[in-house]
Amino acid sequence: MDNPSKIREGSVIYSLGEFDGKQVEYDFSKVLTYLDAKGKMLFGRNFRLFPEDHKVLLKLCNYMVRDRTGCQKMGIDPDKGILLSGPVGCGKTTLMKLIRHIVPHYRPYEVIPARNIVFGFNHVGHRIIEDYGNGRYFCFDDIGVEQMGRHFGKDCNVLGEILLSRHELFLESGLQTHATTNLNAAELEERYGNRVRSRMRELFNLVAFDQSARDKRGIITENKK
């Protein structure tokens, strides 16, 4: 479909706003309608969007559609990636898997659990760091709580090394990286060290759920596919 303001899902066409032939003026209420429907397709009929999360969703939506005016008002740099933080179970992974669908005309990122990357390192070694330090688009899920990597008796802070590589790519080509975490800034620095933490400030926009955000895991049941 040539009109980026409309998305077809099966026989249904969802409008996200108005397209004047050059740019889309997005309507957040219409975007929410689409995200609710797409969420049910991806995660099951129990999926729902919560009103208390709309502030976070608005930031993510403005970022994804590259609304530079909206991003500026919210203190977001659209040229950086997103670090979505919040308590366990608040919906970070689900939103990062969902929000990319509102811009099907942009190249999508893959959501990769940090622990899986470490498992891969333990099996094949530093090739994993090279694989994720390349020109592809990634969202590293649940960073900061993964185990230390160990290959042939040598320990490695795998995600720390990958983030350093991604930072170099960002400086060289503007390649964006996204991530989710349960940890705060001090905890991330303790996990990865000051050098990586300083690079993360340059690499990411911090978008945070309120620390009192509810655990939604008992409310939303994700389909197992």
In the chain, what are the domain boundaries? 6-208
Asked whether the predicted pLDDT for residue 92 surpasses 60, the reply is yes
Tell me which residue of 166, 147, 210, 159 sits closest to 184, measured CA to CA: 210
- Please give the pLDDT value at position 100: 97
| Residue 22 dihedral angles phi and psi, to the nearest 5° | -120, -40
Task: Report d(CA 107, CA 141) in Å as an integer.
Answer: 18
The answer to whether residues 102 and 140 touch, using CB atoms and an 8 Å cutoff, is no
Task: Determine what percent of the chain is predicted with pLDDT higher than 90.
Answer: 84
Q: Under 8 Å CB-to-CB from 33, ≥6 apart: which residues? A: 14
Contacts of 154-158 spanning 24+ positions with Cβ under 8 A = 156/121, 156/126, 156/129, 157/192, 157/193, 157/196, 158/117, 158/118, 158/121, 158/128, 158/129
Q: Distance between CA 129 and CA 193 in Å, rounded?
A: 18
Q: Give pLDDT, residue 8.
A: 95
Sign of torsion, CA 18 209 140 178? positive
pLDDT surpasses 90 at 84: yes
How far apart CA 175 and CA 75 sit, in angstroms, is 20
pTM: 0.92
The pLDDT of 124-146, averaged and rounded, is 93
Residues 201-208: what's their mean pLDDT?
Answer: 97
Domain 6-208: which CATH class?
alpha beta
How far apart, in whole angstroms, are the C-alpha atoms of residue 183 and residue 159? 14
The stretch 150-164 carries a mean pLDDT of 93
Length of the chain equals 225
- Tokens of residue 196, six digits: 């990586």
